[in-house]
Amino acid sequence: MKPTDTSNPEYFHRVVDCQHACPAHTPVPEYIRLIAAERYTDAYMVNWESNVFPGVLGRTCDRPCEPACRRGRVEDEPVAICRLKRVAADNKADISDRLPKIPTQKNGKRVALVGAGPAALTVARDLAPLGYQLDLYDEQIKGGGFMRSQIPSFRLPETVLDEEVNYILNMGVVSQFDTYVESLKDLLGQGYDAVFVGSGAPKGRDLNVPGREAADASIHIGIDWLGSVAFEHTKKIGKRVIVLGGGNTAMDCCRTARRLGGEEVKVIVRSPFADMKASPWEKDDAQTEDIPIIDNHVPLEFVLENDKLVGMTFDRVVAEYNDAGKRSLVSTGEEPAFYACDEVLIAIGQENAFPWIERDIDIAFDQWEMPEVDRITFQSSNPKVFFGGDAAFGPENIITAVAHGHQAAISIDSFCQGDNVAERPLPGVTLVSQKMGIHEWSYDSSIEEDLRYKVPHADKKSALKDRRLEVELGFDIATAFKEAERCLNCDVQTVFSEALCIECDACMDICPTDCINFIDNDDEPALRQSLRVPADDLEQAIYVSDNLKTGRVMVKDEDVCLHCGLCAERCPTAAWDMQKFLYQVTQASVL
């Protein structure tokens, strides 16, 4: 193999699994160390700059970082990254003096933002400090988009959401709430220099089986119902409720139903339990609240008696997988199962809908009625119109919407300034030695070996009485410190200088996880197999040096490196050094 090119920032970025997996590439280990150092405000700002809604995300993020966390590969469970983020948000001081200054003299460019969800708010946050005039339109009466309408208060208190939405609205954004944009053509006609569409995926999928129309009064579309609860139009539900669907919206529906008077609430899902889209922790939380999840049941019919919904029937199925791993649900041939209920919530997915976008304004739509949006610039075929969040490529999550917003803001700025939108800024990267003395590092290399700590929950009885009472209480400071110390500091990179190496084997001998090898070079598949422990995880890179004096090469499998620094401590010539790698996605404005 050729020597690894560590001057390409993407190499070390890949090693920081959590940051790499995060759509917004938040520097996770960096803020976890700040939390351990009780520098909560600094930790919050690292987050805020990168993901805009740390308090919201610290409670509700889909956390793609956690399955990626290296700790999960050397031990049972990953670091509780998401809940540590919340610790920073909960314990921070006033940050108003750290917020960017908004110029009073505007730059003369006007941008309209459609939707006040995470994507559009991110665009606003990135463009406001540059002097853009920003008009924000949303049909709801407050900002936040689906963070407000679809995430129940017991998971995300309104105060937390208001605070983080207001940081942005207070940047001089002109918000026009309670205003549904009916025509993009009209909006463009108002002379905006650019329009950002962050209108989400607002349409809940319906279930058209017999009885649907007749029982309409007792059947609700999940996301609409959640929004109606959030804005207090709906305050109660029948005693027996069936929730259809296996995603996080279904979990939010069933738990909300429990708080609105639902005594026998069931989740009934087509797929096997393990295949459900809901995050495992959300399924746990639902089950803790006495909500059974019945899997492998395909809805057949809404059953009515005297024009009133009395229950539903389901076909019992088993999942079969073909050689390609494709699943089909096959009926067991048993009698249909009947479940009695008073009301049904349908949470089987959501879709995009753009009835307000005319088809004659140069925005191309594909066969699925989705706008054709560039995956890097987020520009549509009408160069003035940009998309982001769920509106761009279909339903995702908050952190993805934020990542879209940052990139769209860069594009909008380039476009408005007459620059080439396709030219993207390079990431900001630093790589700094952590050496403090002969064997001392400026990071805490000795990690906590405890298992993942659980976040304490509010008493179930009181939680079920009050839909606003937050269930998760968050880590206390002592537990947060211990959990933070579980982080392996994967951003502190093992950097190897072949010219200094005397091949004494000390690093190879000390490495607790057998990552380091001194062997004859070969092609990658052969090299991977000839290591002390074969490097079978092809997702993880192997770090190959140039030829050493004996003609061998150093090969390090990055997979389960603990970043403990022992290789560098045992190196007599400092051929190994521990260097902190900070990778920051460049944004439209430098905060």
Partner 1 sequence: MSYIRPEFRHPNSPANERGYTRKDYEGGLSTLCAGCGHDSVSAAIIDACFELSIEPHRVAKISGIGCSSKTPTYFLGNSHGFNSVHGRMPSVATGANLANREMIYVGVSGDGDSASIGLGQFAHVTRRNLNMLYVVENNGCYGLTKGQDSATADIGSASKKGAPNPYAPIDLCTLALQLGATYVGRSFSGDKAQLVPLIKGALAHKGFAFLDVISPCVTFNDSAKSTKAYDFVREHAEATGKMDFVPVKQEITADYEPGYTQEVTLHDGSVIHLYKQDGDIENIAGRKSIRDRNEALRQVQQYKTNGKILTGLLYVDPDSQDFHNTLGTVSGALRDLGEKELCPGKQTLADINASFR
Task: Please give the residue ranges that form the binding site for partner 1 (CB under 8 A).
Answer: 73-75, 438-440, 445-447, 449, 502-506, 508-510, 512-515, 533-534, 536, 549-550, 560, 562, 564-566, 569-573
Task: For partner 1, give the closer residue by CB, 184 or 562.
Answer: 562
CB of 12 to partner 1, least distance (A): 21
Contact 331, 325 (CB under 8 A): no
List C-alpha distances in Å: 500 to 178, 380, 504, 546.
66, 52, 11, 12
Residue ranges of the alpha helices (H) in 312-397? 390-393
Q: Which two tokens stand for residue 534?
A: 């074969």
Question: Nearest approach, Cβ of 549 to partner 1 (angstroms)?
Answer: 7
CB of 220 to partner 1, least distance (A): 46
What is the total residue count of the chain?
591
Residue closest to 389 by CA, chosen among 190, 585, 199: 199
Output the six-digit token pair for 528: 């991977």
Nearer to partner 1, 453 or 518 (CB): 518
Q: Which residue has the tokens 């279909």?
A: 394
Least distance CB 582 / partner 1 (angstroms):
24
Collapsing DSSP to helix, strand or coil, 546 comes out as: coil
Degrees, nearest 5: CA angle 237-241-243: 115
Q: Give me 571's structure tokens.
A: 């190196």
Q: List the beta bridge partners of residue 486.
A: none
CB of 568 to partner 1, least distance (A): 9
Looking at the Cβ atoms of 119 and 516, the one nearer to partner 1 is: 516
Q: Is 394 left (phi over 0), alpha (psi -120 to 50) or beta?
A: left
Nearer Cβ to partner 1 (165/561): 561
Instruction: Give, rounded to a whole angstrom, the gap between the first and last alpha carbons of the chain.
Output: 41
Rank residues 104 and 446 by Cβ distance to partner 1 and give the closer one.
446
Structural tokens at position 502: 């005397």
Q: Report, in Å, the least distance between residue 11 CB and partner 1.
A: 22
> What minimum distance in Å lies between the beta carbon of 485 and partner 1?
12
Taking the least distance from each CB to partner 1, the nearer of 178 and 440 is: 440
Least distance to partner 1, CB of residue 566, Å: 6
Nearest to 26 by CA among 16, 36, 34: 16
79 Cβ contact list (under 8 Å, min separation 6): 18, 32, 66, 69, 71, 452, 483, 484, 486, 487
Please say whether the beta carbons of 47 and 19 come within 8 A.
Answer: no
Q: How far is the CB of 440 from partner 1 (least distance, A)?
A: 7
Q: How far is the CB of 505 from partner 1 (least distance, A)?
A: 5
For partner 1, the closer of residues 66 and 343 by Cβ is: 66
Interatomic CA distance for residues 250 and 260, integer angstroms? 15
d(C-alpha 457, C-alpha 285), whole Å? 10
CB nearer to partner 1: give 417 or 573: 573
Q: Transcribe 130-167 into DSSP letters.
A: GT-EEEEE-SSSSS-THHHHTS-TTTS-HHHHHHHHHH
Q: Which CB, 320 or 536, lies closer to partner 1? A: 536
Beta carbon nearer to partner 1, 123 or 488:
488
Provide, rounded to whole angstroms, the least separation between the CB of residue 28 and partner 1: 19
Question: Smallest distance from the beta carbon of 455 to partner 1, in angstroms?
Answer: 24
Interhelix angle 477-484/28-36, rounded to 10 degrees, is: 130
197 close to 391: Cβ distance less than 8 angstroms:
yes
Instruction: At 471, list the tokens.
Output: 């269930």
Report the residue number, 282 or 558, with the smaller CB distance to partner 1: 558
* 162/546 with CB nearer partner 1: 546
CA dihedral angle for residue 403, residue 380, residue 385, residue 63, rounded to 10 degrees: -20
Buried b (16+ CB within 10 A) or exposed e, 301-311: bbbeeeeebbb
Nearest to partner 1 of 419, 505 (CB atom):
505
Q: What 3-state class would DSSP assign to 66?
A: helix
Residue that is written with structure tokens 């008077």 in the block: 261
CA dist 133 to 124, 416, 441, Å? 9, 12, 47
Residues forming a β-bridge with 262: none
Q: Which is nearer to partner 1, 452 or 570 (CB)?
A: 570
Query: Which residues on neighbouring strands pair with residue 243, listed in sequence order?
Result: 267, 345
Q: Nearest distance from residue 569's CB to partner 1, in Å?
A: 6
* C-beta of 310 vs 504, nearer to partner 1: 504
Minimal distance in Å, beta carbon 500 to partner 1?
Answer: 11
Tell the smallest beta-carbon distance from residue 564 to partner 1 (Å): 5
How far is the CA of 362 from the CAs of 188, 272, 416, in angstroms?
Answer: 12, 44, 19
Exposure on the CB side of residue 378, measured as CA atoms within 13 A: 32
